[in-house]
Chain A
Amino acid sequence: MKWNLEKAAVNTSRRSFIRAGMLAAAAAPAIAVWPSSWPQIPDQQPQGQGLPEFTGPEPNSYWNSIGPLVTEPQKGPLILLTDRPVQLETPRQHFLTPFTPNEAFYVRWHLETLPNSVDLKEWRLAIEGNIEKPLTLSLPDLFTRFKAVSIAAVNQCSGNSRSQFQPRVVGGQWGNGAMGNALWTGVKLRDVLDAAKVKSGSVQVQFEGLDRGKGPAGFGSNRFMKSLDLSNPVIDEVILAYAMNNKPLPMLNGFPLRVIVPGFFATYWLKSLSSIRILDKPDDNFWMKTAYRIPDTPHGTTTPDEFKTGKVPTVPINKMPVRSFLISPDGSDKIPAGFPLLLQGIAFTGTGGIRKVEVSDDNGKTWRDAHLGEEFGQYAFRTWQFAWTPNQPGMYQIAVRASDGSGITQSEEAVWNPGGYLWNKIERQQLVVGSAD
């Protein structure tokens, strides 16, 4: 698979670049800057571009997905998953800090007609359905009529790390970078619902944004809507956020307003929010009834054969299980024996905050506690550090595991479900330590 930037002319392709180089060399043999071995160079990929064109059927062996880096509006170079609708993954190095920069924050849309532009003169948030007082709120209404609140919370795609599944499953082949932590500021959903006066007999709150698809009406390919049970305690924590890390939301992350559901997977965090509907019966639209469901089994895991029987009960995906990652070093540097390294990474969970992060340098046989960084609330990334000096040369399998406030510790068990959701097994990184003398 080769990538053609539509803007780029044909002559930027590697082959013609090489041909141009050969012509130049033939025409000017006196040019001495080429090393004598230069004809071999075209067979070597420039560093960092030697990734395979696809992964599978085995698991993706890279930390991130393997697509090319691209830029999109308001975004620095991110890893391309899909261009239409837009899906972009955050490269590993952006996870060294507890807050993920807006320009590096991953992007995932379901429907291809997503907003390029929003006119705030026209944009309104409608609160409708089973309520006494329908509301139509402008952005200034949200700024002035409701109290502003902030929360640091991790937004993670349900399918983050899907490319690790074995056997592989269909869907966005994310590496580990479909996640990010931001400080979200906005108004409490509860305050808005109180202003609209929810009628008794209401069961769910449904969210919808400005995005639409090319599919026919009544199908999931036409509209994307997600609902939460009004009885779920998370309702009191939901924020309708207009700010991300103290700045307006990037268009691709849901300008001007998005739903924040702390601790829950990102499928509920609707972007470019335009409607909130109070339902008096459970939402049966495609994105609730059919998609984003997990096996109603311990850890949401099943097997392909078991699932084929059609007897595995499912429930809508909800809270995120605990995860942790080594971010630096990332395995690309060979380390001299005796070098005093600082292993650094992040951990997070949907339940009860991070209590402990442990590191193993012997492939998970023995574990030692890492030092935890500042806590920015129970739903945020928690950074960790571990001073480590490998004294002997060797191939070290570094493993990291976190424990959360619900008493759950990451395990070696890999989940499998047909959606490719809930991946959270202990991550490993090989570090190569060479002789120092």
Chain B
Amino acid sequence: MNKQKYLTLIMAMFVVLAGTAAYAQHKAGQYEPGSAGKIARPLPPASSIDAAYNVGPFPTYRPILAPGEGSREVDVYCNTCHSPIYITMQPPLAADTWAAEVAKMQKTYGADIPDEISKKIIQYLGSHYTPETRKR
């Protein structure tokens, strides 16, 4: 092996070693699927020079309620005054706390919920949204 070839080999080994060292220093080029576009970008408002100031409708987002007896009643009755997000937003609550909340909606806020329906709603919330039962 002449000197020239020997030097080339040494150089090549050095490059490989340096490359290995660089590889150990950091990892690169890792990607995973993202979810771009899930947040809607607002449209620019229509422009007119009259005295009406309009922002258009506010978007609604429906949480998926735990499936079970009474979820339809929640969707119909609770949804009158507020989105069912008001339920899923809460931390897990004891069954009697849910019962008190439903009673508050009827008595304090005047929600027109027949008693047989409110019983079903209380049963539903107490079965799916307590510390022991809440899944999601």
Contact = CB atoms under 8 A, between A and B. Distances in A.
A and B physically associate: yes
B34 A116 contact: no
Interface in A1-31: 1-8, 12, 14, 17-18, 21
Instruction: Classify the interface of chain B: helix, strand, loop or mixed.
Output: loop
Contacts of B35: 12, 14, 17, 46, 49
Interface in B59-118: 59-64, 80-83, 85-86, 88-93, 97, 101, 108-112
Contacts of A74: 42, 55
B28 interface: no
A8 B61 CA distance: 10
A116 B53 CA distance: 8
B32 A46 contact: yes
Contacts of A46: 32-35
A72 interface: yes
Contact of A170 (B55, B64, B81, B97): B97
A386 interface: no
Contact of A219 (B45, B62, B80, B110): B110
B25 interface: no
A224 to B, nearest CB: 12
Contacts of B38: 5, 8, 12, 68
Interface stretch (A51-59, A201-209, A397-405): A51-59
Given A57-B91, A75-B42, A119-B51, A112 B110 contact: no
A168 interface: yes
A73 B82 CA distance: 19
A11 to B, nearest CB: 12
Given A71-B41, A84-B83, A7 B63 contact: no
Nearest to B62: A4
B64 A1 contact: yes
B136 interface: yes
Interface in B23-55: 30-35, 37-42, 45, 50-55
A67 B89 contact: yes
B97 A6 contact: no
Contacts of A73: 42, 45, 55-56, 58
A21 B120 CA distance: 42
B53 A82 contact: no
Contacts, number: 171
A72 B59 contact: yes
Contacts of B92: 54, 56-57
A309 interface: no
Given A84-B60, A116-B57, A168 B91 contact: yes
A235 interface: no
Q: How many B residues are at the interface, by size bracket?
A: 35 or more
Interface of A is mostly: loop
Contacts of A80: 61, 85
A255 B53 contact: yes
Contacts of A49: 35
A256 interface: yes
Contacts of A218: 110
Contacts of B19: none
A2 B64 contact: yes
B33 A116 contact: no
A35 B28 CA distance: 12
Given A54-B136, A84-B83, A173 B58 contact: no
A83 B109 contact: no
A306 to B, nearest CB: 17
A81 B91 contact: no
Given A41-B32, A56-B91, A68-B39, 17 more contacts: A1-B88, A35-B31, A54-B90, A54-B136, A56-B90, A71-B41, A71-B42, A73-B45, A77-B39, A112-B81, A116-B57, A120-B51, A121-B50, A121-B52, A220-B109, A256-B53, A286-B108
The 5 closest A-B pairs by CB, nearest first: A56-B91, A73-B55, A117-B54, A219-B110, A221-B109
Interface of B: 30-35, 37-42, 45, 50-64, 80-83, 85-86, 88-93, 97, 101, 108-112, 131, 134, 136
Interface of A: 1-8, 12, 14, 17-18, 21, 35, 41-42, 44, 46, 49, 53-57, 67-75, 77, 80-86, 112, 114, 116-121, 163, 168, 170, 172-173, 213-216, 218-222, 248, 250-252, 255-256, 286, 290
